[in-house]
Amino acid sequence: MFSLPLRGGALLRPLEVRHAEEFAAHMDRAREHIRPWVGAGFVTEGVEGARGTLSRYAERQAADGARLYGIWLADGTLVGGVMFTDFDAAAGTCEVGCWTEPAGEGRGLVTQACGVLLDWAFGERAVHRAEWHCRADNERSAAVAGRLGMTLEGVRREAWTVGGVRHDAQAWAVLAPEWRALAGRREW
């Protein structure tokens, strides 16, 4: 297992099935905050729901697909995380995503952690294109994509459904040469 330091003494490390109770407690704090912005299948209830989500990601990682990482504050509290919602090394593509409870916001942790994922995807795995998808009205998420050097490529009209209401979704992306060109200008 690994643990990577983030600013302010926070840590980035794999979020595994063994963290189900901790993830469930985190979801209790985060659920209503993230519900409008993440997929319904990710917003779990209880320890068994948390275990199910973590198990699905573990299976996908074992198949060299999606991956899930938690962000822990210096005091040991899980406050959010980042993930490859999709990862296809053969196609040279991936999609990065994030979530956080209010206690994890405004610290720059999500941007830094996503940067770590993108460094790995472009460097270690030779991915060519990384994407970011978010609701068009999710200003915080779009701001992370912008800070990562991604380009807004378009809006998918009424592509995101929450509670029976359709919302527009933005598609952002960064290509490997663009990511390498930004290397000296990254804040983390």
Instruction: Look up the CATH number of the domain holding residue 61.
Output: 3.40.630.30
Cα→Cα distances 126→27, 152, 172, Å? 33, 22, 19
Which domain, by its residues, includes 130?
4-185
pLDDT by residue for the chain (188 residues), tens only, comes to 589 999 999 999 999 999 999 999 999 999 999 988 988 788 889 999 999 999 999 999 999 999 999 999 999 999 999 999 999 999 999 999 999 999 999 999 999 999 999 999 999 999 999 999 999 999 999 999 999 999 999 999 999 898 899 999 999 999 999 999 998 776 65
Q: How many domains does the chain have?
A: 1
Record the pTM: 0.94
